[in-house]
Amino acid sequence: METQPSHKSGSTHYDIVIVGAGPVGLMLSTCLARWGYKIKHIDNRAEPTATGRADGIQPRSLDLLRNMGLKSDVMAHKPARVYEVAFWDPPKTGDGKGIVRTGTWASCPSFIDARYAFTTLLHQGMIERVFLADLKKNGVEVQRPWTITGFTSNEKDPEYPVTVELEHVDGTAKETIKAKYLFGGEGGKSFVRDQLKIKVTHKDPISYVWGVMDGVVKTDFPDIKMKCTIHSEHGSIMVIPRENNMVRLYIQIASSTDADFHPRKTATAEEVQASAKRILQPYSIEWERLEWFSVYPIGQGISEKYTLDHRVFLGGDACHTHSPKAGQGMNTAFLDAQNLAWKIHAVEAGFANKSILETYEPERKDVAETLLSFDNKYAKLFSQKPPPISTVEAASNANAEGAAPTQENEFIKTFKEACEFTSGYGVFYKANALNWSPAHPAQSHVVHPASTKLVPGRLFMNADVTRVVDANVVHLEQEIPLNGSFRLFIFAGKPAVTAQALRDLASNMSRKGSFYSAYTRPDVDTVSHHERHNPHSMFFSVCTVFAEKRSNIEISMDLPALLARYNDNVYADDRWDRRFPDAKGTAHVKMGLDEERGAVVVVRPDGYVGVVVALSEGSATVDALNQYFGAFCTKKLGETQSQL
Amino acid sequence: METQPSHKSGSTHYDIVIVGAGPVGLMLSTCLARWGYKIKHIDNRAEPTATGRADGIQPRSLDLLRNMGLKSDVMAHKPARVYEVAFWDPPKTGDGKGIVRTGTWASCPSFIDARYAFTTLLHQGMIERVFLADLKKNGVEVQRPWTITGFTSNEKDPEYPVTVELEHVDGTAKETIKAKYLFGGEGGKSFVRDQLKIKVTHKDPISYVWGVMDGVVKTDFPDIKMKCTIHSEHGSIMVIPRENNMVRLYIQIASSTDADFHPRKTATAEEVQASAKRILQPYSIEWERLEWFSVYPIGQGISEKYTLDHRVFLGGDACHTHSPKAGQGMNTAFLDAQNLAWKIHAVEAGFANKSILETYEPERKDVAETLLSFDNKYAKLFSQKPPPISTVEAASNANAEGAAPTQENEFIKTFKEACEFTSGYGVFYKANALNWSPAHPAQSHVVHPASTKLVPGRLFMNADVTRVVDANVVHLEQEIPLNGSFRLFIFAGKPAVTAQALRDLASNMSRKGSFYSAYTRPDVDTVSHHERHNPHSMFFSVCTVFAEKRSNIEISMDLPALLARYNDNVYADDRWDRRFPDAKGTAHVKMGLDEERGAVVVVRPDGYVGVVVALSEGSATVDALNQYFGAFCTKKLGETQSQL
């Protein structure tokens, strides 16, 4: 399906060397392996993670895993699912001893339009193995236990500018590798980052020591299968349910604000268990099995740079460290890797200018900055007296727009931000060549119709639609897999209204020099008729969505040949939604697109909106798309057309 | 989790010998293996099905597979999903040549409350392998290629009355087995049935010759991914989409109503392909790959008996043969096996009298009779001129109750019956000791409250609820796996209203001689606190559902200890449903149970309703349940109580 990037044969030349096989390294490796790159992937551990470490997959990350076809493999391990967070505090009445439940929050309330409104809790090692199995299918095996001992990067060698020295951890073997890229995903103590002399900035001067314990318990505490934040006169604890009847407890052991703080302060498992027993009173807790226990100091750190030369990159914990409270570590790592993966592919496969690699650091560092400041805010939110249940319910159901700025609304705002952020749906990227804004070179009256609710740099919205060819009800946002292609969603309104606009769209896309035709597959004449997503170009996949009943759509009549070729990707926007009960085309209405006239939505390969363009008769739509893609692609677009 | 049935050690004594490893044999084997029985399972084929044969899993069968934890393994093969059926006929206008689409039907319309409103199409061999893998986990491997050469059954040997002679198909080895039961699931040409001299009755004197072809095609026929019935001047064909871009075509080659009929009439693949090309005109079709082709005569046959002595049983195609049009073969086989499996288990594990085995034949033969008469009706429905789309839409949306008996409503009736039947939700069992009716020994004013919409002998209804301990939104009907236990669903209305009734229920269940206490696990004092479904008895699993918000339910306070022990099975009936927008407890309302006062629903181990009893204060509820179970269980119930 994918173009095979050309690379030198021989065992010492690779497209990329990836150091570290945790979530960030595995996500990057898995994407690039699927797209045909030659990868040297090493890890200094002899085996994948056996116990402990990260375990939270946020709702949006589950979307991403599904988009890669990996969700069912993850869910096969029967992870715990957290739908609500419970708060326990000392009672306000009586002697004030013990704890009582003072409130619960939905972890991902219904105002967030999530497919999977829960957090998935599963041992990191099981998640790593899902990626490792996929890598193996594509011929990549992680080389263990190997480590990196040095590297240089020199653009004077235009093809393989990076040289990397690798060594078996016991020193028995060495390799010198030539590569196009090097990625450091080795965690907080990154060798690559240290060699580049990139500093880590500590946003919050306070640092902490945390204890974390996984095990199987016997308890009468009623919320042991919920995520809980428990404050008591004996200290605080966080409860996270896990697969296989396990539970994880987080206990803050020390803070740099303590009088006797020492970053090496520690505690034994027995001490933490004794502490948990005191905190949970009047409930009892006994351990049947202790699977993992660790104490670690943690500070809020952020790497000042993610790359110096756009050849050697960093990602994941190598770039940002923070508390485990919001369960963001693995999720942020996944998104770092995915963001970099498609950009490297776009450059190496010949579609995009090298300059798009410059968007990796600002896009992802901005998210990390938000995460760190949020981590503080969230901690505060957790440690505050929780508001009454009615307030939380109001917040869960509220449409904050237009509400008066009262104290309650301040809470609603923080609460909504918190939920959006922790769910992963709050991540957004600022304006640049990829994310349209009024400052973008694509300047046209058809760009960004006023009504649209889609925001460039934010995720494309979820929508149920009916596939025309087989009447299957599907999730539109999942219909194009993570294949490295830009996604063109043609919302085509009513067939009778848009017939001419669709013909004009197709004919202008077909013109020599259009964004679409300029990147035609060299093998376009021999592509199988079963090829669903990339029949014409490796860089574009196309979906068409009519605001019409399925039975009224006839693909061969309602679509010009170029679009009809994507016949498996034609949909009827005919599903009822409680939130838009009167919509004729729910997806059109939800996204703020004209139900009659539609619009074209360009979605980046990672699922974030690039630009929205009105679907107009004549050449204006394709002209605008040429301008949009022309801002970062390798060819000059629209030339032929302007000569006509 | 399960009690291990006692059996003689030694390699010649088995609980059951199962002949045939198609869908019926594998379902039976899988259930019994999970419940700890010793099984000799043979098949005369050297390998599982390689190509072709049955491929349709109906919506209700998918529920069943999920209840066994096997659905995700089936879906991992990415089967085709049929949501709609399209009808193609010669055009009424012009020269009448070619074909046009004259209508489409939902395959499982919304009036059927299906979880999965589609038919799943997957090669039988892949489905067999899912079962074989599960069997292997429980230590059972199918012995191949072996066949049965003789058997005797003699109740004078009370423990192992059945003797079975087995032989390797090439005659190189023989075994003589002593067993408690023998099951013939060898298909239409059953040796077991023939030996028992059980006749096959042909319901419809007409027999047919069918051709069936699986392959990958290139076509411009727009509905190649839908289920289609195509009539043309050149003949008729049925199109069924399959996994891996395959399509199955069924062509009727001959009918005994033809002047030149011969049951051995045949056709080559090329002839069938040429015929398909003519039928599909003006559309083109070319084969890229032919996976399987077969021609077979088929008649509507039904076995007169399913057993003679309740030791040797038949099921699946050995009992009933019919056309493949409605896609019922594998589904009916599954249900035959499941019905027999739990009854054998209930008897052998010591809960039920042997007499419940006598319900297997009438329950399943009645379904087979319905299938055969339906097969005719359905064929007629297919071959008729399809009604206008508006009529079908009316039928799909109609609430037939109260409508006037016009011609259109006759169609609606047939259509609804057809959809219910083919989806599997229409299967129902008539009154007997297991399925309560006014003639049942359980006679009490609390039995079968007038308002209930649940029907003994029909499936328990689907319902979304929120699990209290972890706030997970779950499918109530799936919360108890196929574990061989009767399911007590205690719909507990409002906690404030039912508090006394629940205490009385628990205390009467606890009394010596109650249906519940009479079958206490011998190891009840040492059962792990992690045991979720069978903490007290192997024969009962209990769920409690309050018509209350989750956050208002406190298990330890709202439930007596016996019911609180099932704390993972306590639910809030707090999910909104479009069909019951004003319900406070959707599941209560949907099932016609009092939202305040609730009711107790007994569901058979196979998911069919046994009896509904009002939840009343005092002993009436348990008295009625004692009467219900007393009709078929091994112990005399309620004795102690009546002495009080």
- Rounded to two decimals, the ipTM of the complex is 0.90
**d(C-alpha A420, C-alpha A108), whole Å:** 8
Asked if B470 lies within 8 A of A80 by C-beta distance, the reply is yes
Instruction: Name which residue leads in pLDDT, A208 or B70.
Output: B70
> Which phi and psi (to 5°) does residue B15 adopt?
-70, -40
As a whole number, mean pLDDT of residues B82-109 equals 88
The confidence score (pLDDT) of residue A403 equals: 40
Q: Which residues contact A231 (CB under 8 A, 6 or more apart)?
A: A88, A89, A90, A99, A383
Cis amide prior to B282 (ω within 30 degrees): yes
The confidence score (pLDDT) of residue A638 equals: 86
Residue A194 token pair: 């240290």
Which CATH class, in words, describes the domain spanning A1-51+124-198+302-374?
Answer: alpha beta
Q: B4-9, long-range: CB within 8 Å, 24+ apart, which pairs?
A: B4/B36, B5/B35, B5/B36, B5/B37, B5/B38, B5/B348, B5/B349, B7/B37, B7/B38, B8/B159, B8/B160
CB pairs below 8 Å between A and B: how many?
Answer: 73
Question: How far apart are the two ends of chain A, measured CA to CA in Å?
Answer: 35
Tell me how close the Cα of B436 comes to any Cα of chain A, in angstroms.
37
- The answer to which of A423-437, A629-643, B550-564, B610-624 has the lowest mean pLDDT is A629-643
Q: Give chain B's radius of gyration (CA, Å).
A: 26
Tell me how close the Cα of B406 comes to any Cα of chain A, in angstroms.
27
* Domain ranges, ordered by start, for chain A: 1-51+124-198+302-374, 54-122+205-298+411-422, 464-630
Q: Which residue has the tokens 């061999």?
A: B125
Q: Which residue has the tokens 């040549």?
A: B97
Cα angle value B332/B335/B341 (rounded, 5°): 145
| Residue B328's pLDDT band (cuts 50, 70, 90) | confident
Residue B401 clears pLDDT 50, i.e. is over it? no
CA distance readout (Å), B150 to A229, A434, B181, B305 = 67, 75, 14, 19
**d(C-alpha A333, C-alpha A261), whole Å:** 30
To the nearest 10 degrees (0 to 180), the angle between helices A124-137 and A23-34 is 20
Q: How many CA atoms lie within 13 A of B354 on its CB side?
A: 7
In B, which residues are within 8 Å of A226 by CB distance?
469-471
DSSP element (H, E) containing A239: strand A235-241
The confidence score (pLDDT) of residue A10 equals: 62
**d(C-alpha B40, C-alpha B130), whole Å:** 19
Residue B380 clears pLDDT 80, i.e. is over it? no
> Which of B76, B241, B470 has its CB closest to that of A241?
B470
As a whole number, mean pLDDT of residues B292-297 equals 87
Q: Which segments of chain A have a pLDDT < 50? A: 1-7, 399-408, 640-644
Whether A263 contacts A292, CB under 8 Å: no
CA dihedral sign, ordered A71, A75, A80, A81: positive
As a whole number, mean pLDDT of residues B159-169 equals 96
Rounded to 10 degrees, what is the CA torsion of B455, B457, B461, B467? 110
Q: Does A241 touch chain B (CB under 8 A)?
A: yes
Q: Please, what's the largest Cα pairwise distance for chain B? A: 86
**d(C-alpha A371, C-alpha A328), whole Å:** 8
In B, which residues are within 8 Å of A554 by CB distance?
222
Task: Sort strands A39-42 and A13-19 into parallel, antiparallel or unpaired.
Answer: parallel
The confidence score (pLDDT) of residue B641 equals: 46
The confidence score (pLDDT) of residue A550 equals: 96
As a whole number, mean pLDDT of residues B485-494 equals 98
Tell me how close the Cα of A470 comes to any Cα of chain B, in angstroms.
5
**d(C-alpha B481, C-alpha B63), whole Å:** 11
As a whole number, mean pLDDT of residues B179-186 equals 97
In A, which residues are within 8 Å of B222 by CB distance?
469, 554-556, 567
Local structure of A477: helix, strand or coil: helix
The confidence score (pLDDT) of residue A3 equals: 42
Nearest CA in chain B to A567: B222
Q: Phi/psi zone of residue B399: left (φ > 0), alpha (ψ -120 to 50 degrees), beta?
A: beta
> Which phi and psi (to 5°) does residue B392 adopt?
-65, -40
CA distance readout (Å), B619 to B433, B497, B593 = 22, 17, 20
**d(C-alpha B83, C-alpha A472), whole Å:** 6
Same CATH fold assignment for domains B1-51+124-198+302-374 and B54-122+205-298+411-422: no
Whether A217 contacts A198, CB under 8 Å: no
DSSP string, A194-205: HHTT--EEEEEE
**d(C-alpha B186, C-alpha B179), whole Å:** 18
Nearest Cα neighbor of B54 from B128, B123, B119, B132 is: B123
Asked if A555 lies within 8 A of B75 by C-beta distance, the reply is no
**Which of B551, B556, B557, B586 is the best substitution to test chain A (most A C-beta atoms within 10 A)?**
B551
- The answer to which of A581-585, B331-335, B378-382, B620-624 has the lowest mean pLDDT is B378-382
**d(C-alpha A123, C-alpha A23), whole Å:** 12
Counted residue by residue, chain B has a size of 644
> Which phi and psi (to 5°) does residue A163 adopt?
-115, 130
Domain B54-122+205-298+411-422 carries which CATH code?
3.30.9.10
Q: Does A484 touch chain B (CB under 8 A)?
A: no
User: Environment class of residue A503 by beta-carbon count within 10 Å: exposed (0-12), middle (13-18) or buried (19+)?
Assistant: middle
**Which of B391, B472, B570 is the best substitution to test chain A (most A C-beta atoms within 10 A)?**
B472
Whether A341 contacts A32, CB under 8 Å: yes
In A, which residues are within 8 Å of B566 by CB distance?
none
Asked if B470 lies within 8 A of A76 by C-beta distance, the reply is no
> Which of B84, B473, B554 has its CB closest to that of A83?
B473
Q: Which residues contact B6 (CB under 8 A, 6 or more apart)?
A: none
Q: Which residues contact A93 (CB under 8 A, 6 or more apart)?
A: none
Residue B403 clears pLDDT 50, i.e. is over it? no
Nearest Cα neighbor of A460 from A478, A441, A472 is: A478
CA dihedral sign, ordered B251, B256, B261, B263: positive
Tell me how close the Cα of A256 comes to any Cα of chain B, in angstroms.
34
Q: Does B226 touch chain A (CB under 8 A)?
A: yes
In B, which residues are within 8 Å of A528 by CB distance?
none
- The answer to which of A239-253, B194-208, B562-576 has the lowest mean pLDDT is B194-208
In A, which residues are within 8 Å of B469 by CB distance?
222-226
The confidence score (pLDDT) of residue A390 equals: 60
Q: Does A239 touch chain B (CB under 8 A)?
A: no
Tell me: the pLDDT tens digits for B463-478? Answer: 999 999 999 999 999 9
Local structure of residue A263 (DSSP, 8 states) = T
In single-letter form, the type of residue at position A215 comes to: G
Cis amide prior to A145 (ω within 30 degrees): yes
The confidence score (pLDDT) of residue B4 equals: 46
Residue A338 token pair: 């995915």
| Residue B359's pLDDT band (cuts 50, 70, 90) | very high
Residue B222 token pair: 């727009």
Q: Does A397 touch chain B (CB under 8 A)?
A: no
Asked if B245 lies within 8 A of A555 by C-beta distance, the reply is no
Whether A100 contacts A64, CB under 8 Å: no
DSSP string, B120-169: EE--HHHHHHHHHHHHHHTT---BTTEEEEEEEE-TTSSS--EEEEEEET
Whether B80 contacts B121, CB under 8 Å: yes
Whether A531 contacts A565, CB under 8 Å: no
> Which of A104, A222, A551 has its CB closest to that of B104?
A551
**d(C-alpha A126, C-alpha B386), whole Å:** 52
In B, which residues are within 8 Å of A567 by CB distance?
222
Q: Does B300 touch chain A (CB under 8 A)?
A: no
The confidence score (pLDDT) of residue A400 equals: 38
Local structure of B229: helix, strand or coil: strand
Q: Could you name the CATH architecture of B464-630?
A: 3-Layer(aba) Sandwich (3.40)
Q: Does A76 touch chain B (CB under 8 A)?
A: yes
Tell me how close the Cα of B570 comes to any Cα of chain A, in angstroms.
12
Asked if A81 lies within 8 A of B470 by C-beta distance, the reply is yes
Whether B465 contacts B490, CB under 8 Å: no
DSSP string, B465-498: EEETTT--EEEGGGSS-S-S-EEEEEE---HHHH
**d(C-alpha A400, C-alpha A406), whole Å:** 11
Nearest Cα neighbor of A388 from A374, A408, A404, A410 is: A408
Asked if B222 lies within 8 A of A555 by C-beta distance, the reply is yes
Any bridge partners for residue B213, and if so which? B249, B293
Tell me how close the Cα of A103 comes to any Cα of chain B, in angstroms.
9
Tell me how close the Cα of B509 comes to any Cα of chain A, in angstroms.
24
In B, which residues are within 8 Å of A80 by CB distance?
470
